[in-house]
Amino acid sequence: MSQAGDISATSGPVPPQVATQFTTDSGIAVVYNNNVDVFGGPGIKTSAITTVNPNDTIQIKVITDGFNWSEEVGPTYNIPVDHGVFCNASMTVNLPTAALVTGDSVIIYNDFGSSVIVQAGAGQRIQFGTDLSSIAGTATSTNVGDILELTYKASDTAWHVIACVGSWPIA
């Protein structure tokens, strides 16, 4: 027994300066048992960091591995999804065909200055602005430094030119 007498404590409302909910891009997270979990998904890392007070900020970081790049000399190269290639000789670069989803991308760089042909797969097209290649069509470069970035769109089975340096006529 305390010399001060009986001590009792009762729970009251949470002071107004204590956060009880957290607004996110897709809804509101509510505190449960004095805790809010913040987890990342694929390609996301979360961590508590100190800015003014210990662990007063939650940092959410998107992790990107970026494109893998290779140098190739042909005569043909089957470029994988999310990959860049430096073409160091005349060659044909075959675009990916298996298990494609909207947003899959490739970058082709003509580093040789001779003919580099980008070949769409069976049932695919290459779209450059309003120009559309034939089915299993091509885009061709003949100049060193020409660059072609393509992104796949599943609903129309076409590789769309997102960025281009130089001349890449399509057929």
- Please calculate the CA angle 134-171-99 and round it to the nearest 5 degrees: 55
Rounded CA-CA distance 93/112 in Å is 14
At 79, the amino acid letter reads I
- Percent of the chain predicted with pLDDT > 70: 71
| Whether pTM exceeds 0.85 | no
Rounded Cα–Cα distance for residues 122 and 145 (Å)? 28
pLDDT, tens only, 105-153: 999 999 998 899 999 999 999 999 999 999 999 999 999 999 999 999 9
DSSP state of 96: P
Please, what are the domains in the chain? 21-62 (no CATH), 68-165 (2.60.120)
Answer whether the bond into residue 54 is a cis peptide, omega within 30°.
Answer: no
The DSSP bridge partners found for residue 128 are: 131
The runs of H, that is alpha helices, within the chain are none
